[in-house]
Structure 1
């Protein structure tokens, strides 16, 4: 059984099966709407339900507040239609011609970057190319049927090896494998590219880029792409970690800082040792102190959900329109059961 889905304000119409989410239906028909985690946590896909009814199963109370439901808001990565529906959401055109593929890859290299961070470099078949936008991610497909999402850290024009930054998660099935048994020449399957967290090339606004932990991965892809294009948009990059030893790619950051006069990096440590002489505390505090007026920026935020949500809210309170805030909260993707 299928229902009719209308997307406003574009007026696009499509069929949505009764067992798929609104997001899945939109992507299947080639219409890109904002999304990231796909499990109802990051809220990137939140939009307005104009007409019709949807179902969230047993998770509704966990993913939408009563006030949000009363205001007609919906999370399209979880909402399954119960009737014909009309939604209001901003469509994104830049990714419309990029093909989502499922590909095998061979682990070409594994590198320790920080005490709890490893980079793995994946080589895809020579007959394939993975076209993607800087900031997008792939889902590594697990043998047990699950999937884990990781941002691509390399620039799109340098896709001979796909670079992923993986942080050890205590008890995490896949990260335990990466840090204990994964080795060069192992085969991994993935699906991608995915997500709508990518640079909006048409903008000329200065950039506020913010990461915590391995949220640096998509920021690295974005920055390498901008530098390769000789972009002169001012970039203020804030990177927060718990301990100074959690920073990695320090030589690359130093190179960018010395080469590009329009690039500024601020590294912030929340649990500093006595040897750390740089900024301390949390990136949100430093950003709001450094920029009382943020209305002129495009903001790209990636990392821990608490930081992403709190900074997004703080930026809006300081005058930055939501249409200029692009975010990716790092959470596990939901295991597909069918």
Structure 2
């Protein structure tokens, strides 16, 4: 369903990464982990995870868009958003979409894995679980090129400090001398930390290749069940 939105704000989160708040003219009912499509043309709809959670979004939809110069697909959307903010025009979205939302009835522990701005997907799920006072153990692994791209690190450390069932594990490829977290590939970090993933619900957001590799590695090496692995990518690969 096409819905008109006003762009409420655009704020930088990290280098070439933006937080965009949209105010839809009619409320959008969605589940934690779903995405929306930004309509750039009649046959040009571009998907972005909804970073806000359905229980605490106050009518607004939050996006985190990584738009480096080489990524025209996302950069063109950010430029359209900036133009709409400037002149007060509408942005059309199609929402909600996706089947990889959080399974609220499950009492299994959650493993949330994000690469880059895929964090927006797991952020919605994490916030929703916290707001619902779910007691499941939640492990959030966030992989990025370097520490500067982990734009919500302080927020996540505070959440983990406040909620004993939440565990945040940041992973960077390029570490500075004072880096205290894990270094390398985020999937390898998960593999090294868990003996078995048989009992986990696993939610993944990142490049399609990453989601595909996770399904292959975790089912073959860590006893994960593909039926309990969720990612938007799995609808296409």
TM normalised by structure 1 equals 0.64
Q: Please tell me whether the aligned partners of residues 233 and 262 of structure 1 are also in contact (alpha carbons under 8 angstroms).
A: yes
Give the whole-Å Cα distance in 2 for the aligned partners of 1:298 and 1:173. Answer: 31
Aligned CA distance change for structure 1 residues 201 and 173 (closer, same or farther; 3 Å):
closer
Which residue does 1:92 correspond to in 2?
A: none
Pick from 142, 153, 156 the counterpart of residue 239 of structure 1: 142
Aligned CA distance change for structure 1 residues 113 and 186 (closer, same or farther; 3 Å):
farther
Give the whole-Å Cα distance in 2 for the aligned partners of 1:224 and 1:240. Answer: 19
Which residue does 1:254 correspond to in 2?
A: 157
Offset at residue 176 of structure 1 (A): 3.8
Give the whole-Å Cα distance in 2 for the aligned partners of 1:279 and 1:228. Answer: 28
Aligned CA distance change for structure 1 residues 171 and 304 (closer, same or farther; 3 Å):
closer
The more displaced of 241-250 and 107-116 is: 241-250
Larger Rg: 1
| Unmatched segments (≥5 aa) in structure 2 | none
Q: Please tell me whether the aligned partners of residues 118 and 179 of structure 1 are also in contact (alpha carbons under 8 angstroms).
A: no
Pick from 200, 203, 210 the counterpart of residue 300 of structure 1: 203
Q: How does 1:1-338 map to 2 (within 5 A)?
A: 101-125=1-25, 128-143=26-41, 145-157=43-55, 158-169=57-68, 170-176=70-76, 178=78, 182-183=82-83, 184=85, 185-317=88-220, 318-329=222-233
| Unmatched segments (≥5 aa) in structure 1 | 1-100, 334-338
Q: Please tell me whether the aligned partners of residues 168 and 179 of structure 1 are also in contact (alpha carbons under 8 angstroms).
A: no
Q: Please tell me whether the aligned partners of residues 53 and 128 of structure 2 are also in contact (alpha carbons under 8 angstroms).
A: yes
Q: Please tell me whether the aligned partners of residues 33 and 102 of structure 2 are also in contact (alpha carbons under 8 angstroms).
A: yes
Which residue does 1:38 correspond to in 2?
A: none
Offset at residue 273 of structure 1 (A): 2.9
Give the whole-Å Cα distance in 1 for the aligned partners of 2:100 and 2:73. Answer: 26
What's the secondary structure of 1:231's corresponding residue? Answer: coil
Give the whole-Å Cα distance in 1 for the aligned partners of 2:121 and 2:208. Answer: 15
More helix by share: 2
Give the whole-Å Cα distance in 2 for the aligned partners of 1:228 and 1:160. Answer: 16
Q: Please tell me whether the aligned partners of residues 7 and 81 of structure 2 are also in contact (alpha carbons under 8 angstroms).
A: no
Q: Please tell me whether the aligned partners of residues 209 and 301 of structure 1 are also in contact (alpha carbons under 8 angstroms).
A: yes
Give the whole-Å Cα distance in 2 for the aligned partners of 1:294 and 1:254. Answer: 24
What's the secondary structure of 2:103's corresponding residue? Answer: coil
Q: Please tell me whether the aligned partners of residues 66 and 74 of structure 2 are also in contact (alpha carbons under 8 angstroms).
A: no
Q: Please tell me whether the aligned partners of residues 244 and 272 of structure 1 are also in contact (alpha carbons under 8 angstroms).
A: yes
TM normalised by structure 2 equals 0.90
C-alpha deviations, 1:238-283, integer Å up to 9, x for none?
0000111111122321221111000000000012233423210011
Offset at residue 293 of structure 1 (A): 1.1
Q: How many residues align?
A: 230
Offset at residue 218 of structure 1 (A): 1.3
